[in-house]
Structure 1
Amino acid sequence: MISITNLSYFIGGRALYENANMFIKPKDKIGLIGLNGRGKSTLLKIIDGEYTIDAGSVSKSNDCTIGFLNQDLLSYQSDDAIVTVAMEAFKEAVDTQRQIEQLLHKLETEYSDEMVEKLTNLQEKFEQLDGYSMQAKAEEILEGIGFTTQDLHRPLREFSGGWRMRVMLAKLLLEKPSLLMLDEPTNHLDLPSIEWVENYLRNYEGAVIVVSHDRYFLDNVTTKTVEVTQGQLITYEGNYSFYLEEKELRKEIQNGAYENQQAKIRQTERFIERFKAKATKAKQVQSRVKALDRLDLIEEVVDDTAAVNFRFRFKQQPGRYIITLKDVSKAYGSLEILKNSNATIERGDKIVLIGANGKGKSTLLRIISGTEPIEGERALGYNVIQGFFAQHQLESLKLDNEIIEEMKQAGSGKTEQELRNVLGCFLFSDDDQYKKIKVLSGGEKSRVALAKTLISEANFLLLDEPTNHLDFISENILIQALQQYEGSFVVVSHNRHFVSQVANKIWYIEDKQIKEYPGTYDEYEYWRKQQAAITTAPVKTQVTPKVEKKQEAPKNDNNQNRLKSLEKEMKKVEGDMETLQKQKETIELNMTNPSIFGNFNELQKLQQELAIITQKLEVVNKKWDELAETIDTL
């Protein structure tokens, strides 16, 4: 479908790509990965035709259509309702509908057979274009990615940038291009919406290229991974997890080949050095010199992992309780976020706050920080010093400061060498540390702001979407820093890998209450799926079976004997149903006990018992149905 051959693209004197190759086939699901600044977004713009290449070719099949979701769409504005904006994907059908409406309006004052015939033809065309279902399709996708039914007819202009980006995503999905290119789509989606998009893209009929730093998303969507590295496009025939394993294997092979070649080169150079002055060896020396010149050099393996070896300490230890919220209520007009809710953050808590957008996560973070007015009580614990990180703090960085100057202004009291060590942990080399803030990318600014937050004397951190704009290496650095951080924190994040690595408690808002799961994200996900399975399981309430009388079949001894046997068996089954139902109710009652709910091992044991009882109950219910049907027939 698309063939990229010997692609070269230069920015100034630097080669972003040099003789790079890549092939996109129909139905490919490709994850495009690489460090920030390596050219991932640039490659998408090259494929889209926005950028002109310096050498090589980008060939597309004649029937190839491209849909491109990129960050530039954040600035798109419109006074139209979002469902109308999304329906622009059906351009021909929308134009036909407009012509029909104009013609109907005209027919109110003018009438002719010619106009009626034209109207009939337009209506047939509209039906062929599936125009009567386009609004339903647009509404389904918009609601799938998080909009409420009430939102659909609100003007696009009323929504924030992230929500406008969702509308653009919906429009692209409705267009169904043969190649869908998505640049960081999960930055603007909450967890339910991410899961919906994952499912949609897995079943998408065309090809997909995704630039993302969400490894769960890549694993769930992609079947091929292309890494942008050292000006090349390296293809791996699998998802991100496959890429990690395969890359490690390739690195071992490449490293072995590199070391063997280097040993051979050193041996050859020693021979040349030893015998270059001897006339008798001149021919052999010359031969080896030419062999070295012709040698295809194997590149040294570049280790693109990074480890944090700096411990983020603070002087003041807080008391046992960090924050206590008591009978907290918060509403915006008629919209209630919290109602008489209680929660406590204790020393050592590593809390991640998850859930759909619009449920009040950012509001709760501001309530915890003390910057949001509330009804109820917020009590700050003894010796608690808090630090806050949010994306808007990138704007508070002083653009004319060098990075090292900006770090000094964090007020941590650390020496310049200590600050340089911290910046080294955050991938800023010695030379980089003297760069001005204004020349940094979004990801680099995020790293500076995060480093400033972590080196402060705060023993309690609040972090709002800290992984946005971070590549995999930077995200890994933040994970390590938070794992080593000796204080407490609350993080809002939709990045499932990040959440799974840093949390020891999960918070979510449900029924206007702050709910807590006392375990890791993976444990929470297992529990959530178990709860969903229990809720949706078709369990019958035990009642005395009532068999309606039908016209009696002719009586005979065999029928009577069989009927008695079946009725006896049914009584036994009913007894089993009653026993299992009581066991189920007992387990469910135990699971609501606060002492058990706070004990993950005990809770998991009860969940397993409940799953077994529920399965047995289903079997017994099915048996009862079969017996009742047979008895009814007899």
Structure 2
Amino acid sequence: MISITNLSYYLGSRALYENASLHIKPSQKIGLIGLNGTGKSTLLRIIDGEYQIDGGTISKAGDVTIGFLNQDLLSYQTDESILSVAMQAFARQNELQHQIEELLHEMETNYRDELVDQLGKVQEEFDALDGYTIQSKAEEILEGLGFSTDDLHRPLKLFSGGWRMRVMLAKLLLQKPSLLMLDEPTNHLDLPSIQWVEKYIQTYEGAVIVVSHDRDFLDNCVDVTVEVANSKLNVYAGNYSFYLEEKALRNEIQKGAFENQQAKIRQTERFIERFKAQATKAKQAQSRVKQLARLDRIDDVLDENARVNFRFNFSTQPGRHVLHLENITKAFGEKRILTKTQGTLERGDHVALIGANGRGKSTLLRIIAGSEPINGERRLGHNVSFSFYAQHQLESLRLEDSLIEELKTANPSKSEAELRTVLGCFLFTGDDAFKKIRVLSGGEKSRVALAKVLLSQANFLLLDEPTNHLDMQSVNILIQALQQYEGTYIVVSHDRYFVSQIANKIWYIEDEQLKEYPGTYDEYEWWQEERKEQGITPAKPVEAPKMQPATAPSTNGNAAKSGSNGRASDEERREWQKTLKTLTRQAEETETKISQLESQKKKLEAELADPSTYGDSRKMQAKNDEYKSLSLQLDHLQSQWETAMLEAEELEARIKV
């Protein structure tokens, strides 16, 4: 469909791409990844024809159409409704609709046969293009992206940049181009909308290229991953998780080849040094010199998985209770966000506040920070000091300050060496420390602002969408920093992988109440699926359980009734005792299997650590596959054991009644 061959593109003297190639096939779903500044967005603009290349060729099939969602669309404004803007995707249908209306209007006063004939032809084409369904299609996509039915007829200019971007995305999806290019679409979507877009892309008939830092989004959407690195386009035939595994294997092979070549180079250099002055060996030594000059050098593997080690020093330790919210009510005009809700945080809680946009997540953070007026009581605990990070706070960075000067404002007690260490953790190295804030990109400013928050000595952090505009390496650094943080924090984020790594509690707003799930995000996801299967909707609020709900086994259809006093009958008790024995036996058998598999897993871990294993890529792949299979079996058996034990516990309680 599109063939990029030996692409070269320069920014001044810097080669952004050099002899890079990529072939985009119909229906292919491509994830474009790489560090910030490597040229991902530039490549999309090159494909779209906006930028002219310095070398190579780009060939496109004659019938290729391209739809490009980029950050420039944020500035688009109009008085038209968002439904009208989305329906601009149907250019021909809109033209025919206008013709039909004009013909009908003319026929009211001038009914002629030729007008009837013309109207019939126009209506026939309009019908063939599904013109009568375009509005319902537009409404379906807009509502899938989070707009309410009432929103559809509001002017686009009344919406924020993120919501306007959703309208532009809806318009592109309705156009159905043969190549759809999306540049960081998840920055402007909440979790339900992200999941909706994932499903849409999975069934999209055309090709898709997505630039994203959201690992789960890429895993669920793409079947090919293209990494931009070293001015090249490296293709991996799978999603992001496959890319990580395959790249690790490639790096092992490259590392081995590099080390072997370096050993050979050192040996050759020693030969040259030893014999270059001897007449009998001078010719051979000169030959080795030429051999080294012609050698195609193998690059060493660069470690892109930056490891950080923050030392968080609190000026004061807080008490056990960090935050109390009592009878909090908040509304904007007629739109009620919270109604007499409660909330409590204890020292060491790591909370992710999640949910759809418009539910009041950012409002709740401002309430906690004390910057949002409310009815009710918000009370911080003893010795609690907080620091608040939000996207709009990037504007408060002083543009003429250097990075070092800006960090110094957050913690004046830190030495320059300590501040440079922190900057290094956030990928600012060498002379970067003396750059002015005004020359930084949006992602770089985000990293500086996050570094300031972490340096602030606060024992309570409020972070609103901290991963927006960060590349994956920067997200990984933030994850490590928060995992090492011993204080308390609340994070608003739609990045599922990020949330799964940093939260031990989940907060969400439902039915104007703040609710808590006391577990990890993966456990929360499982619980929500269970609710859906049970037909529980937000209209029927149910508090999250503290563990997997156990369902008592049925009595196999027995019609035995309980006594009039509500106690179980003897027949019911006998059935329960039989079931209890079966469950206990199953749990014991499962426990034995778990023990056997854990022994196998330890043995396999030792084999994976053996140099003879990871030195052989095929052997390494086979052992990796075996290890994954074993881990999945263990997870499944552990789940079976837990279910059996929970059901047995409930039955024991019933029998005792």
**Could you tell me the TM-score, scaled by structure 1's length?**
0.85
Matched, 1:419 2:419: yes
Aligned residue runs from structure 1 range 466-485, under 5 A: 466-485=466-485
Contact 2:7 2:17 in 1 (8 A): yes
Listed one character per residue, the Cα deviations across residues 280-315 of structure 1 (whole Å, up to 9, x for unaligned) are 223322322222222111111111111111212211
SS of 2:463's partner is strand
Q: Report which stretch shifted further, 327-336 or 103-112.
A: 103-112
Report the equivalent of 1:543.
none
RMSD over aligned Cα atoms: 2.3
After TM superposition, give the deviation of residue 577 of structure 1 in Å: 11
Mapping for residues 170-569 of structure 1, pairs under 5 Å: 170-535=170-535
User: What per-residue deviation string (whole Å, max 9, x for no partner) do you get for residues 199-251 of structure 1?
Assistant: 11011111111000000000000111000001010001110001001101100
Quick check: 1:573 aligned with 2:557? yes
Does residue 30 of the first structure (1) align with residue 30 of the second (2)? yes
Aligned to 1:560: none
Q: Relative to 1, partners in 2 of residues 1:47 and 1:270: Cα closer, same or farther, differing over 3 Å?
A: same
Aligned equivalents of 2:22, 2:62: Cα separation in 1: 18
Aligned equivalents of 2:487, 2:16: Cα separation in 1: 41
Change (3 A) 1:524 1:607: farther
Give the CA deviation at 1:536.
7.1
Query: 4+ runs of 1 displaced by more than 3 Å?
Result: 571-574, 576-580, 604-610
Counterpart CA distance in 2 for 1:605 and 1:438 is 57
CA distance in 1 between partners of 2:644 and 2:335 (Å) = 37
Give the match's secondary structure for 1:32: strand
Aligned pairs for 1:620-631 (under 5 A) are none
CA distance 1:255–1:411, change in 2 (3 Å):
closer
Deviation at 1:277, TM superposition (A): 2.2
Q: Which residue identity does 1:226 align to in structure 2?
A: V
Shift of 1:425: 1.1
Judge conservation of contact 1:312–1:481 (CA < 8 Å) in 2.
Answer: no
Q: Give the gaps of 5 or more residues in structure 1.
A: 538-570, 584-600, 614-634
Which residue in the other structure is 1:137 paired with? 137
Q: Percent identity?
A: 67
Separation in structure 1 between the aligned mates of residue 23 and residue 313 of structure 2, nearest angstrom: 49
- The worse-fitting range, judged by mean Cα deviation, of 211-220 and 414-423 is 414-423
* Aligned mates of 1:222, 1:96 — CA distance in 2: 37
3-state DSSP class of the match of 1:573?
coil
CA distances 1:104-131 after superposition (whole Å, capped 9, x unpaired): 2222233322222111111111001110
CA shift digits 1:507-560 (9 cap, x unpaired): 0011111100001111111111122222279xxxxxxxxxxxxxxxxxxxxxxx
Aligned counterparts of 2:644 and 2:74: Cα–Cα separation in 1: 48
Q: How far apart in 1 are the matches of 2:250 and 2:530?
A: 39
Corresponding position of 1:14: 14
Query: Residue 281 of structure 2 aligns to a residue in which SS?
Result: helix
Q: Tell me the equivalent position of 2:118.
A: 118
Rg larger for: 1
Q: 1:259 and 1:134 mapped to 2: Cα distance?
A: 61
Q: CA deviation at 1:608?
A: 6.8
Distance apart, 1:276 and its partner CA? 1.8
In structure 2, how many angstroms separate the alpha carbons of the residues matched to 1:188 and 1:399?
A: 26
One-letter amino acid of the structure 2 residue matched with residue 387 of structure 1: S
Residues 348-383 of structure 1 deviation map (CA, whole Å, 9 limit, x = unaligned): 111110000011111111111111111111112111
Against the structure 1 CA distance between its residues 576 and 468, is the aligned structure 2 distance closer, same or farther, given a 3 Å change threshold?
Answer: farther
Q: C-alpha separation between the residues in 1 aligned to 2:493 and 2:558?
A: 49
TM, length-normalised to structure 2: 0.82
Does the 8 Å CA contact 2:367/2:374 hold for their aligned counterparts?
yes
- Counting matched residue pairs gives 560
- 2:157 is matched with 157
Amino acid in structure 1 at the alignment position of 2:354? I
Unaligned runs of 5+ in 2: 538-554, 563-567, 574-638, 652-657
SS of equivalent residue, structure 1 residue 140: helix
**AA in 1 matched with 2:96:** T
For the residues of structure 2 that align with 1:577 and 1:333, how far apart are their CA atoms? 55
Give the whole-Å Cα distance in 2 for the aligned partners of 1:179 and 1:126.
Answer: 25
d(CA) in 2 for partners of 1:13, 1:573: 80
Distance 1:105 1:337 in 2: 47
Note if contact 1:184-1:211 (Cα within 8 Å) is conserved in structure 2. Answer: yes
- Where 1:304 maps in the other structure, the secondary structure is coil
Q: State how far apart, in whole Å, the 1-side matches of 2:357 and 2:556 are.
A: 51
Change (3 A) 1:304 1:576: farther
- Tell me if structure 1 keeps the 8 A contact 2:176–2:206: yes
Q: 1:322 to 1:295 in 2, by over 3 A?
A: same
In the alignment, is the contact (CA less than 8 A) between 1:313 and 1:486 conserved in 2?
A: no
